[in-house]
Amino acid sequence: MNASELAAFWKDFNRLYNENGQLYHRVARSCGLSDCALWLLYTLRAEDTPLTQTQLSETLSLSRQTVNSALKKLVEAGYLRLEAADGNLKNKQVLVTEAGDAFLRRTVNRENAAVSHLSGEERAALLDLSQKLLDAFRTETERFLKAQDTGD
């Protein structure tokens, strides 16, 4: 791939990525939520099992402080509740409430309607290519970081 093809690819890819992020941002704002709060709810829905704050931070690659702030607001709004995991008061699981579930059903229906425009083969191809790009980027990032550590 020559330099102009590569530049055109990244321009288009970044535009699509950013537009997608803006759509989620608009949904979050229209519901009075931060982007982080929306992603916390979506992550809990996708995992379909209670997670701890630490697990949410790791899954979303966000700081514990950012996640904690969003969790507090979602608990206050009645979308989430915290429950001690295995009797450990410091290690709390985050659970979606009925109100949170109702919110997710309203918003997830938009996502499901959008993805239904793709065939099964297209959905599989999208996931496969996204994973392939992520794996390649991870490899290149590790090379870069290793070179940085060794001063190359």
Give tens-digit pLDDT for 81-121.
999 877 766 778 999 999 999 999 888 778 888 999 999 99
pLDDT tens per residue across span 32-76: 999 999 999 999 998 878 899 999 999 999 999 999 999 999 999
pTM assigned to the model: 0.80
**DSSP codes of every residue in 77-145:** TTSEEEEEETTEEEEEEEEE-HHHHHHHHHHHHHHHHHHTTS-HHHHHHHHHHHHHHHHHHHHHHHHHH
